[in-house]
């Protein structure tokens, strides 16, 4: 009789576990679908998609984005003195952020107030976490870790901004030759410059192609002139070669000179420059690997080789 009761209890426990697992799985699937829909809604722009999946470096910018939205709707109370005084854009950090945000592509997602507020809150949170962790060992370590945490938290949004800027520059360098080849092909086929530029944006996917599409729409709708749209497009990327190409295109369109040969030559130079940059990165990889090799692998190898010998010497004495 006791065996039947134990079997029944085991069956009930298995059934409860199965029901709980099913509920957890359905909850996870629901959260995944909701997160995917939210990411799709927020990811209509390239910067939104990048901030949603930028990894550890994107934590600062994602937090600054949420603070920007919260301060816009009035649900977030600012803690930064410069934000409370309504002079965020006049500080040195605010002016530097305005310059870097354009190159990072997040100027429309993160405001100066949101950025400075994120820096203040992350600095305070990291300082508190470091101080509490250091207090478990000693007072001196709590002070040191608190100061280090404050510095690290303050630098987190700035590092994320620099990483986003470098990422956009790499995207421009990688896709610039492709865009120039499409423009040259369209011009040789009898299309105008505007039609060739729109051709690239409509038939290619990616952040660079979407930026081209936005620039084309801005001057085709009459919001700005074509020269202004092209220069703003070039200024939004930290890529000197893109700026030189735009200057050549604007000059050729203004004076009516031949543009096809210029674009083809610029495409060849852009491809060669991108190949050189890749070769330089590959050449730097062994040098960068020396630090983890020397600090992690080499001591372990020395301990593995010299360990038995040192044990024998210690046993002899």
Instruction: Quote the pLDDT of residue 12.
Output: 43
If pLDDT is split at 50, 70 and 90, which confidence band does 181 have? very high
Looking at residue 89, what is its pLDDT?
63
Residue 42: pLDDT above 60?
no
Q: Could you tell me which of 112, 97, 207, 88 has the C-alpha nearest to residue 160?
A: 97
- Residues 197-228 pLDDT 10s: 999 988 888 889 999 999 999 999 888 999 99
- Using alpha carbons only, what angle is made at residue 138 by residues 134 and 141, rounded to the nearest 5 degrees? 50
Model confidence pLDDT, tens digit, residues 44-91:
344 444 444 445 556 777 878 888 888 777 777 777 776 666 666 677
In the predicted model, what is the mean pLDDT of residues 281-309?
Answer: 80
pLDDT value for 213: 92
Average pLDDT, the chain: 78
Asked if 132 and 143 touch (Cβ cutoff 8 Å), the reply is no
pLDDT at 31 over 80: no
From the list 184, 188, 206, the residue with the least C-alpha distance to 197 is 184
| Eight-class DSSP state of 229 | H
Q: Of 217, 206, 200, 197, which is closest to residue 105 (Cα–Cα)?
A: 206
Structure confidence at residue 277 (pLDDT): 86
Burial label, 263 (beta-carbon count in 10 A; 0-12, 13-18, 19+)? buried
Looking at residue 49, its pLDDT comes to 44
User: How high is the pLDDT of residue 48?
Assistant: 45
Burial of 213 (0-12, 13-18, 19+ CB in 10 A): middle
Q: Which segment, 133-147, 150-164, 219-233, is predicted with the most confidence on average? A: 219-233
pLDDT band at residue 27 under the 50/70/90 scheme: low
CA distance 126 to 145: 9
Does residue 106 have a pLDDT over 50? yes
pTM over 0.75: no
Residue ranges of E strands in 4-66: none
Tokens of 66: 């949420």
The confidence band for 317, taking pLDDT boundaries of 50, 70 and 90, is: low
**C-alpha 111 chain-centroid distance:** 16
pLDDT cut 90: percent of the chain above it: 15
Confidence band of 43 (pLDDT split at 50, 70, 90): very low
Range with top average pLDDT, 13-17, 84-88, 107-111, 181-185? 181-185
- pLDDT over 70 at 291, yes or no: yes
215 compared with 103, residue with greater pLDDT = 215
């Amino acid at each position: 009789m006791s065996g039947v009761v134990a079997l029944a209890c085991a069956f009930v426990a298995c059934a409860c576990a199965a029901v709980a697992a099913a509920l957890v799985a359905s909850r996870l699937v629901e959260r995944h679908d909701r997160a995917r829909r939210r990411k799709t809604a927020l990811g209509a722009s390239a910067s939104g998609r990048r901030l949603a999946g930028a990894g550890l470096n994107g934590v600062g910018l994602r937090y600054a984005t949420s603070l920007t939205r919260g301060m816009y709707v009035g649900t977030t109370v600012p803690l930064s003195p410069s934000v409370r005084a309504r002079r965020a854009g006049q500080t040195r950090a605010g002016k530097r952020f305005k310059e870097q945000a354009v190159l990072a592509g997040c100027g429309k997602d993160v405001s100066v107030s949101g950025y400075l507020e994120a820096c203040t809150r992350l600095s305070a949170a990291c300082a508190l976490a470091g101080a509490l962790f250091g207090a478990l060992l000693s007072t001196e370590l709590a002070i040191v870790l608190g100061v280090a945490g404050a510095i690290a938290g303050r630098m987190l949004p700035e590092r994320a901004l620099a990483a986003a800027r470098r990422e956009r520059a790499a995207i421009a360098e990688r896709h610039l030759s492709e865009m120039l080849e499409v423009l040259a092909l369209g011009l040789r086929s009898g299309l105008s410059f505007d039609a060739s530029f729109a051709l690239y944006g409509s038939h290619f996917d990616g952040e660079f192609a979407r930026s081209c599409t936005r620039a084309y729409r801005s001057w085709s709708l009459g919001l700005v002139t074509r020269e202004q749209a092209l220069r703003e497009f070039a200024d939004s990327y930290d890529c000197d070669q893109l700026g030189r190409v735009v200057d050549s295109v604007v000059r050729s369109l203004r004076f009516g000179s031949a543009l096809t040969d210029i674009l083809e030559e610029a495409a060849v130079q852009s491809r060669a420059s991108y190949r050189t940059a890749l070769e330089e990165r590959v050449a730097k990889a062994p040098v960068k690997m020396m630090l983890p090799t020397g600090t992690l692998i080499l001591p372990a190898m020395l301990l593995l080789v010299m360990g038995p010998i040192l044990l024998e010497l210690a046993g002899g004495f």
